[in-house]
Structure 1
Amino acid sequence: MAFTSRHPFTTDAYELGYLVGMREDKTLQQSSWANVAAPVGFLDNDFRDPDLDRYLERVDRYHPDVAVVGDATTYDEAERYQQAANNIRDIYSEVEPVIVPKCRDALEAIEQDTVIGWPNGYANIDPLDYSSIRDWRGRRVHILGGSPTDQYDIVQLLTQPTLTNDDPADIIGLDGNGVLKAAYFGEYWTPTGYERADHLSIRDTVRRSLEEMKEFWEGHGIWPDEEPIDRYGPAVKEPDEPIWMDDGGDPLVSRGDLEAAYIGEYEQGTMAFQSEAAKKYIEFHEGWR
């Protein structure tokens, strides 16, 4: 399950086991935090203002796990995205390209082994307006956007046995970030509907939705055994002792403290400092390397 947004929401999602990412014309907005570094695992395209050359530059920069190359509205556009997907796979075997067909001609132009994106959520078109379920069965599919309950209905539609014995689709992933918008309206997602979150901060509201979503998918047996954090390590490193080394041993008292901390890893252990200057000063005088 992928979640696209920015810090601190992506940081929390990543720690919960989500694959986090962003649209290629944006950033995770984590560079101003000394101790925050979530990987870009999911790279979406700017479908309102697509620029394939710019997108491929971002793939070169981030090497995401999943790359939504583009939304194809014509046969020629789909062919262009297919060539780009082939090039990505030739160069970066670990990157999984996705092409989103927005018409039947585009769907027919996409090669059988390429992941196709089922437009959902904010999409202004329904795949069933230009194709049938059988066109998607037997294909590798990523579901873009929508709530978990909507997405689960699509999973069932594409995978359950049929009277004609059609092959099931291989659902390789899902993504969505609608819970962020809901949080600004003071609500968090649950399987039975949105609940008021007047007692929670925006960050805590989003995290509550993400926790509910993960529990929902796990309850349906849909969650990876290996989470991205298992492969890439934590986005926010924690010191061996929750104290500032440059402030007389005073404790780090908040999540924000840890995210802003300058972390050093030494033979003596992992330690936290309040500033880069203090970190370098103590490293020099203590001989830590």
Structure 2
Amino acid sequence: MTEGMKLGYLPGNREDSTYQLSDEHVNVDLPEGFMDNEYEDPDLERFLDKFQEREPQVAVIGDAYNAEQAREYQKVVEDLLEDYPRRRFIVVPKSEETFDLLDPETTTLGYANGNSQIQAEDLGPAKFRAWDVHILGGNPHEAYDAIEKLTQPTVDRRPPANVVGYDCNLPLRMAHWEYWTPDGWIDNGHLTPRETARRSYQEIKEFWQKKDLWPETEPVELYGEPTEEPEELIWMDEGGDPIGSIKDLEEAYVGHYEDRGKMAFRSEVEKKFIEYRENLTGI
């Protein structure tokens, strides 16, 4: 996740999952910018509890299979916007009747493009035009095909959709075996899972940049870096040994001091000891 954010992606996860960061990763601070629902086991009350706990910028409320669900989710969106303005709330239509019950002024449509049994394609891309749309899943080629269907000119001059987002968990799902490229999946060979995921992120970013579909502002500009870096990449409590990897940095205890700038320590005990011994004043 830190690799993805550094490359310009908005971190996110499903409501029933976490970033799986252990207590060892003390120098990692990732925003949960996007939260998906557990579509195979939906529970609106559980979802709302998780939303209030994490407060993501973008949230998939649920899949609306019928009119009753569409009305319920639309009411949830309106209620949430009162307390959480300037957030984006997504409802995924799964039947034709649901479109007329959702409000384009407040609600973004989720375009099912991954593993869902009912795909947006089954309902017809034309139903999504003139809406704000977030594409849910599919590899970048499949997502780009969907964008073209949603935005290309039509004979009847129907207004295009405004495609506002796309999420995909393939780089993490495939990180033990392969990385994605525009020409297909490539065996990761000697790469670690982390390096494999990073390569996928790089390739996907370059793919969207070549399509001129990469955002001008990246999340790290809004939230800051996911890890604090000391002024010099050395451990202050072990004779100035260098920090050798990103993993080392994530496990570092970093302090920011008036006279010394940012310093890194291997343990919280050593950090407190040197702060006391050197009379360091924190900022």
Per the normalisation by structure 1, the TM-score is 0.93
Equivalent positions of 1:199-210 (< 5 A) are 199-210=190-201
Among residues 108, 115, 120, which one is paired with 2:108 in the alignment? 115
Structure 2 counterpart of 1:23 = 14
Among residues 179, 190, 200, which one is paired with 2:181 in the alignment? 190
- One-letter identity of the residue aligned with 1:88: L
Among residues 130, 137, 145, which one is paired with 1:153 in the alignment? 145
Among residues 52, 57, 66, which one is paired with 1:65 in the alignment? 57
Among residues 205, 218, 221, which one is paired with 2:209 in the alignment? 218
- 1:143 counterpart = 2:118: no
Structure 1 counterpart of 2:29 = 37
Structure 2 counterpart of 1:75 = 67
Counterpart contact for 1:63–1:95, Cα < 8 Å: no
Residues 88-110 of structure 1: CA distance to partner in whole angstroms, max 9, x if unpaired? 11111132110011111222221
- 1:246 counterpart = 2:224: no
Among residues 99, 102, 127, which one is paired with 2:120 in the alignment? 127
- One-letter identity of the residue aligned with 2:232: E
Return 30-39 or 147-156, whichever deviates more: 30-39
Distance in 1 between residues matched to 2:121 and 2:114, nearest whole Å: 14
Runs (5+) with no aligned partner, structure 1: 1-9
Equivalent positions of 1:3-18 (< 5 A) are 10-18=1-9
Counterpart contact for 1:30–1:37, Cα < 8 Å: no
Residues 40-70 of structure 1: CA distance to partner in whole angstroms, max 9, x if unpaired? 0000111111111121122212221101111
Distance in 2 between residues matched to 1:46 and 1:254, nearest whole Å: 34
Moved segments of 4+, more than 4 Å: none
- One-letter identity of the residue aligned with 1:190: T
Equivalent positions of 1:250-265 (< 5 A) are 250-265=241-256
Structure 1 counterpart of 2:261 = 269
Cα displacement (A) at 1:128: 3.2
CA distance change for structure 1 residues 153 and 230 in 2, over 3 Å: closer, same or farther? same
Equivalent positions of 1:171-190 (< 5 A) are 171-184=163-176, 186-190=177-181
| Residue aligned with 2:149, SS | helix
Counterpart contact for 1:15–1:229, Cα < 8 Å: yes
Counterpart contact for 1:43–1:67, Cα < 8 Å: yes
Among residues 167, 170, 187, which one is paired with 2:162 in the alignment? 170
Residues 119-162 of structure 1: CA distance to partner in whole angstroms, max 9, x if unpaired? 01111112232x33322110110000000000000001001111
Cα displacement (A) at 1:272: 0.4
RMSD: 1.2
Cα displacement (A) at 1:31: 4.6
Runs (5+) with no aligned partner, structure 2: none
| Residue aligned with 2:254, SS | strand
Percent identity over the alignment is 44
Cα displacement (A) at 1:34: 0.8
Counterpart contact for 1:137–1:158, Cα < 8 Å: yes
Distance in 2 between residues matched to 1:187 and 1:169, nearest whole Å: 33
